[in-house]
Amino acid sequence: MATFIEDACMAKRDNEPTEFPQSRTYPRSTLGGFRDLGVTPLAVQLGLTEEQTNGHWCSRCQGIWFGYTLEAQCPVCGNRNG
């Protein structure tokens, strides 16, 4: 037996789950994929493995370069703004 509050205030729900519009969307991607810009000299000098490097996006080169976590400069074009 439903109470007055449930009858007056609560919206009736069925057993179907609510769909979210973003549940079927894909992340943004660059047309044609991305360029692998390589590994920075510092990462090589430190002897970092692939698992120890971080990928950094370069908007000028439209690619990802891999290096030490705190590095900020693209090894290809010198861009420091992502």
**Given this model, what pLDDT does residue 40 score?**
95
Tell me whether residue 78 is in a domain.
yes
Both tokens assigned to 68: 């030490």
C-alpha span between 42 and 54 (Å, rounded) = 12
Q: Report, as an integer, the average pLDDT of 50-64.
A: 92
Tally of domains within the chain: 1
Tell me whether residue 81 is in a domain.
yes
Pick the more confident residue, 10 or 33: 33
Within a 10 A sphere around the Cβ of 58, how many other Cβ atoms?
A: 22
Is the pTM for the entire model greater than 0.75? no
Tell me whether residue 77 is in a domain.
yes
Q: Report, as an integer, the average pLDDT of 1-30.
A: 62
Tell me whether residue 13 is in a domain.
no
C-alpha span between 68 and 56 (Å, rounded) = 10
- pLDDT value at 39 more than 70: yes
Tell me whether residue 18 is in a domain.
no
Both tokens assigned to 42: 């510092």
Nearest to 38, CA basis, from 69, 70, 76? 76
Tell me whether residue 38 is in a domain.
yes
**Given this model, what pLDDT does residue 65 score?**
95
Both tokens assigned to 16: 């179907």
Pick the more confident residue, 3 or 14: 14
Tell me whether residue 17 is in a domain.
no
C-alpha span between 67 and 53 (Å, rounded) = 5
Please give the residue range of the domain that contains residue 82: 32-82
Tell me whether residue 56 is in a domain.
yes
